[in-house]
Amino acid sequence: MSVPRWDDETLKAGTMVRTALWLVTVVGEGNVFTKEEHRNAFPGISQADRRMRDLRDYDWVIHTNTEDATLRPQEQRFVKAGVPVWQRDVKRAATSPAITAKQRQAVFAADDYQCVTCGIAGGETYADSPSETAVLAASSRTVRLSHDRTELMYVTECKRCRSGTGNDQSADLARLLSDIRDLDEAEQRRLLLWIKRGRRGATPIDRAWTAYRRLPSEARDTLLGHLDDGTL
């Protein structure tokens, strides 16, 4: 998608929007920049740093050395672009009041009550951090429908994936490969399918688990009773 030039003087845009454009076109996703480079791009603008932080409200992920230990104090990493704030209608939709509780429930239901990024269900604990319980949220996504039409849609994400801080810096590929080797063939095939599809699919056992978790506690007890004494 073509984006406006960040330094186009005819563009009616504030420092936050221009910073977004500067990040996308000059820095590029995944790359490191310094606070000085940002300040030099916007000479004479006080609080340029703060305008950059404002982008986080629009799902932009920008890490400092507190989130990414490989960075030096003056450096930041442009991890991921969020809402294209230079598109006025999209920006307005993103700042309009949060979706209602009913809409949020519909988003969760459509995603089988699982984080679309890591697959965890609400209330489950993280495998790598058993004391942490997953809380689901509806995150906005700008979906491009055709070349000139975008719409704001929602997906279910756990708060950890949403904040972009859950990425384990010490990823261990060798360990992961060995874990995958320990799966049986059917599980390996299913994993491959999920990877190709870009999200985890709900299996019958997942759907049963999700349905179980949504039962009132009395009904859970009844179900547990049936399972326990084999009277399904």
Q: Which residues bind Zn ion (CB under 5 A)?
A: 115, 117-118, 158, 161
Closest to Zn ion by CB, 20 vs 120, is: 120
Closest to Zn ion by CB, 73 vs 201, is: 201
Q: How near is the Cβ of 149 to Zn ion at its closest, in Å?
A: 29
Closest to Zn ion by CB, 117 vs 140, is: 117
Closest to Zn ion by CB, 27 vs 120, is: 120
Q: What is the 3-state secondary structure (H, E, C) of the chain?
A: CCCCCCCCCCCCCCHHHHHHHHHHHHHCCCCEEEHHHHHHHCCCCCCHHHHHHHHHHHCCEEECCCCCCCCCCCEEEEEECCCCCCCHHHHHHHHCCCCCHHHHHHHHHHCCCECCCCCCECCCEECCEEEEECCEEEEEEEEEEECCEEEEEEEEEEHHHHHCCCCCCCCCHHHHHHHHHCCCHHHHHHHHHHHHHCCCCCCHHHHHHHHHHCCCHHHHHHHHHHHHCCCC
Q: How near is the Cβ of 110 to Zn ion at its closest, in Å?
A: 16
Q: How near is the Cβ of 14 to Zn ion at its closest, in Å?
A: 32
Q: How near is the Cβ of 136 to Zn ion at its closest, in Å?
A: 9
Closest to Zn ion by CB, 130 vs 230, is: 130
Q: How near is the Cβ of 65 to Zn ion at its closest, in Å?
A: 24
